[in-house]
């Protein structure tokens, strides 16, 4: 069972990032350079995984280990994208997404959920709260930079709504 879940999440990440098709993302390439990503997760290990792998693609990573700190950082630093955990004490990921969407200064920051919650209902809630990506743990951290890059590229192309539809239409992702 665990093996199957691993495989699914892995392939899901890849599909969303479409990494290999463009033949990019292998090296410490310049394609991610300059991007600033905020990682909000109470799990130190998850933050570490994101930080190392995003940095490898030249991205700048800022971290918060709780929802409240994450919101503050988002407002202050205005990152290009937020990787957001859901199950956190006190202010959880849903609340963070809600507040980000409510705040004019943070409204347009794309939010990609990284969570252990695999329910279709949770996925739908993620879309409702404005999420443009939804990764279920365990995920492939190697592909995370490509996911970020892909999401940003598509948003720049005006495909935000298409991204959100993709989340809810494919519960396997």
Partner 1 sequence: MSTSEAQQAADRARRLQRVAERLAEAVTPEEVLDAILTEGVQAAEARAGAIGVVSADGKSVELLAQQGYDPAVMSGWGSFPLDADLPMSEVIRTGAALFISSLSERNELFPALAHQGQEGHAIVVVPLAVEGRTFGAMSLSFDEDIEFELERREMKMTLARQAAQALARSRIFEAEQRLRKRMTFLAEASELLASSLDYNRTLRQLARLCVPGLADWCAIDMLGPNGEIERLAVAHQDPEKVRWAHELQDRYPPDPDAPHGVPQVLRSGEPEFFPEISEEVLDEAVGDDLELRRIVEELGLRSSICVPLTTRGRTLGALTLIAAETHPLYTNAELELATELARRAGVAVDNARLYREAERGADAARALAYVADGVVLLDREGRVRHWNAAAAAITAVTEEEALGRPAREAVPGWETLAALVPLVPPGSAPRPVTLPLADTGRERWVAVTGVGFGQGTVYALQDVTEEYALEKTRSDFVATASHELRTPLAAVYGAVRTLRRTDVELSEDERTQFLEMIESEAMRLATIVDQILLTGQLDAGAVEIDATECDPAEIAAGVLESATTHIPEDISLALDPDGSPRIMCDENKLRQVLVNLVDNAVKYSPGGGRVEIRLRRELSNCLIEVVDDGLGIPSDERERIFEKFYRLDPQQRHGVGGSGLGLYICRELVERMDGQLTVESEPGRGSTFTVELPLRR
- Nearer to partner 1 among residue 101 and residue 118 (C-beta): 118
- Residue 89 sits in the site that holds partner 1 (CB under 8 A): yes
- Residue 117 sits in the site that holds partner 1 (CB under 8 A): yes
Binding pattern for the stretch 39-78 against partner 1, x by CB under 8 A and - elsewhere = ---xxxxx-xx--xx--x--------xx------------
**CB-based burial, 45-80: b 16+ in 10 Å, e otherwise:** ebbebbbebbebbbbbbbbbebbeebbebbeeeebb
Distance CA 19, CA 68 (A): 33
Only one residue has tokens 């950082």, namely 73
Helix (H), strand (E), coil (C) string for 46-66: HHHHHHHHHHHCCCEEEEECC
- Nearer to partner 1 among residue 114 and residue 151 (C-beta): 114
Torsions phi, psi of 114, nearest 5?
Answer: -125, 110
Nearest approach in angstroms of CB 49 to partner 1 is 4
User: Considering only residues 15, 62, 95, 118, which one is a binding residue for partner 1 as defined by CB under 8 A?
Assistant: 118
- Residue 2 sits in the site that holds partner 1 (CB under 8 A): yes
Nearest approach in angstroms of CB 162 to partner 1 is 27
DSSP state letters, 78-120: --SEEEE-S--SSS-HHHHHHHHHHSTTTTTS-EEEEES---H
- Residue 146 sits in the site that holds partner 1 (CB under 8 A): no
Nearest approach in angstroms of CB 119 to partner 1 is 7
The residues that touch partner 1, with contacts defined as CB under 8 A, are 2, 6, 26-28, 42-46, 48-49, 52-53, 56, 65-66, 87-89, 116-119, 136-142
């Amino acid at each position: 069972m665990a093996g199957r879940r691993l495989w699914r999440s892995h392939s899901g990440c890849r599909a969303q990032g479409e990494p290999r098709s463009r033949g990019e993302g292998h090296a410490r390439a310049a394609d991610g350079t300059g991007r600033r990503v905020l990682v909000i997760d109470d799990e130190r290990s998850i933050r570490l995984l994101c930080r190392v792998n995003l940095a490898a693609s030249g991205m700048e990573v800022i971290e918060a280990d709780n929802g409240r700190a994450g919101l503050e950082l988002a407002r202050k630093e205005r990152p290009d994208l937020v990787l957001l955990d859901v199950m956190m004490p006190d202010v959880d990921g849903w609340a963070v997404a809600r507040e980000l969407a409510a705040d004019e200064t943070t409204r347009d920051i794309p939010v990609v959920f990284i969570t252990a919650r695999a329910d279709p209902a949770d996925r739908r809630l993620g879309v409702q709260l404005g999420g443009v990506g939804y990764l279920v743990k365990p995920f492939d951290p190697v592909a995370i930079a490509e996911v970020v890059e892909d999401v940003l590229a598509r948003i720049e192309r005006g495909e935000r709504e298409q991204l959100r539809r993709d989340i809810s239409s494919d519960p396997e992702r």
